[in-house]
Chains A and B, each alone.
Chain A
Amino acid sequence: MKSEPEKKFANKFRACFGILLATGFLSAHAAPQTFPDSSLYQLRSTWITDAGQKLRLADLQGKPRLFTMFFGSCQTACPMVLARLKLLESKLPSDWEQRAGFVLVTMDPGRDDSGGLAAYRKQTDLRTDRYTLLRGNPEDTRELAMLLGIAYGPSKKNGGIEHTVAMILLDRKGRIIRRDESLEDEEGQLKALQSAITDAGH
């Protein structure tokens, strides 16, 4: 939400160091791309991957993405959701990662740092070209959860996290096209994903 000062800064910068601009150094901070009004990719927040790379959600455009939120120490719901993702994965064409991706965002950014996310990837065997693991600051994480319709917070009992479960399919421009709040409709979810992948091929 710093577009004006950033633009001013960019203008000033451009005047002095035009050549640097060509390197793309400022590209993420230049004038925002336009997305549909209902696109989650309008969010300007910055995220960190398990490889320690910075990312804006807009960087995920171009492919349909299945989002879910999780945390490393989650014992019950998250492993079930992950099992569902792997099941979906097994039913997609073998080169599906070229046309879609799964995005897992931690709802426990305090404990799941990049190293923790990397450990989670290894432990659960998630391919880097298929699964994007993200961590944001607590406020941006909450904001994304609001947009995804996921509620969470510290548990009253055991220091864990209470949360709702949802898997949200976004089209290549970041608009929600399907939400699954339970594991009930596996077939419907798979069909939606397949058709999103087919659409994205055009």
Chain B
Amino acid sequence: MSSHMGSSGKNILLTGMLVLGSAFASAKPMVLIPGGDYTPPFPASGDSSRTSTKIRIPAFRLDATPVTIVEYLAFLQQHSEWRKSKVKRIFADSTYLISWKEDLKPSSKNFSSPVTQVSWYAAKAYCEVEGKRLPGTREWERIAQTIPGGQDSAGYNAQILEWYGRPSSKDSSDGKGSTNAYGVHDLFGKIWEWTSDFNREGPEGMISGDRNNAFFCGGAAGSAKPSGVDYATYMRFAFRSSLKPEYSTASLGFRCATEASDEK
């Protein structure tokens, strides 16, 4: 009987920790992105008019910041199957958390840096545990189309491009990240981010299986660039199309989203 008490005591403790854990997790600030129109940068495949039509993106909520190392560590403590020593190769390649010294020891001392070296499957699992999901590419890009302060899109894009051109820094904890008009932090300047459907939308033809299209074969990438698409956007789609879901690269992290109606 006493051992029984002991185990239920442990259960209460565990429950307490879980509650604490989820309270901590739900404390991560999210911002409401109102419904709005999004103009895909690439015309629909087979659409000879080469003009993009607007798509309505329903309101949703998005983590204000990318998932950090300390948040990911908390996830690993609860979900041992995602620790680097245990993760199944089918869900994460050999670079998964490769810089971490041990399963629960990140290399970076700055635990508030965005976590990187995580696969799409790991990011999906993390968001699921939080009661969230990964944002869709269109949701992500809809926010990216919002220019802080309004007008100077050329200057804004130049700034993003300047970052895209820099070699990726492993520890991007300098706090110089950007804040966008909706209060979304660090959309650019720190890491690239997984989206739920990163593999489905890109330069025209991708989805129909025609991956060898002009974008990659046309010599200078600019020659295949549809007019009106800023180059920074173009680079993001090109980067996404180079990814596979098990990839875990040093510059790639994620943040989670929920439906706007969820009380999370």
Interface residue ranges, A against B (CB under 8 Å):
1-5, 8, 11-12, 15, 37-40, 42, 138-139, 142-143, 146-147, 151-153, 155-157, 162-165, 181
- B158 located at the interface, meaning its Cβ lies under 8 Å from any Cβ of chain A in the complex: no
Q: A5-B18, A146-B245 are in contact. Are A153 and B44 (CB under 8 A)?
A: no
In the complex, A146→B92 CA distance in Å? 12
Q: A1-B81, A1-B128, A162-B208 are in contact. Are A151 and B89 (CB under 8 A)?
A: no
Chain A residues, Cβ within 8 Å of B79:
1-4
Stretch of B148-156, B167-175, B192-200 with 4 or more beta carbons under 8 angstroms from chain A: B192-200
In the complex, A37→B208 CA distance in Å? 30
- Of the A-B pairs whose beta carbons lie under 8 Å apart in the complex, a sample of 19, sorted by A's number, is A1-B81, A2-B79, A3-B79, A5-B14, A8-B14, A15-B7, A37-B89, A42-B88, A42-B91, A138-B133, A139-B196, A143-B121, A146-B245, A151-B197, A152-B197, A153-B197, A156-B40, A163-B207, A181-B209
Are B121's CB and A156's CB within 8 A?
no
In the complex, A155→B124 CA distance in Å? 23
Are B124's CB and A139's CB within 8 A?
yes
Closest to B43 in A: A156
Are B78's CB and A153's CB within 8 A?
no
B7, B52, B78, B121: the one within 8 Å of A12 (CB): B7
Instruction: State the Cβ distance, B215 to closest chain A Cβ, in Å.
Output: 16
Chain A residues, Cβ within 8 Å of B91:
42
In the complex, A155→B208 CA distance in Å? 11
A4, A138, A143: the one within 8 Å of B78 (CB): A4
Instruction: State the Cβ distance, A164 to closest chain B Cβ, in Å.
Output: 5
Are B45's CB and A162's CB within 8 A?
yes
- B235 located at the interface, meaning its Cβ lies under 8 Å from any Cβ of chain A in the complex: no
Instruction: State the Cβ distance, B22 to closest chain A Cβ, in Å.
Output: 11
Are A40's CB and B44's CB within 8 A?
no
Closest to A9 in B: B11
Closest to B80 in A: A4
Q: Could you tell me which residues of chain B, from 2 to 34, have a CB within 8 Å of some CB in chain A?
A: 4, 7-8, 11, 14, 18
Q: A4-B79, A146-B121 are in contact. Are A156 and B53 (CB under 8 A)?
A: yes
In the complex, A12→B14 CA distance in Å? 12
Instruction: State the Cβ distance, B164 to closest chain A Cβ, in Å.
Output: 24
Are A164's CB and B80's CB within 8 A?
no
Are A155's CB and B245's CB within 8 A?
no
Instruction: State the Cβ distance, A38 to closest chain B Cβ, in Å.
Output: 5
In the complex, A153→B8 CA distance in Å? 47
Are A153's CB and B207's CB within 8 A?
yes
In the complex, A157→B44 CA distance in Å? 7
Are A153's CB and B7's CB within 8 A?
no
Chain B residues, Cβ within 8 Å of A3:
79-81
In the complex, A157→B199 CA distance in Å? 19
Instruction: State the Cβ distance, B104 to closest chain A Cβ, in Å.
Output: 14
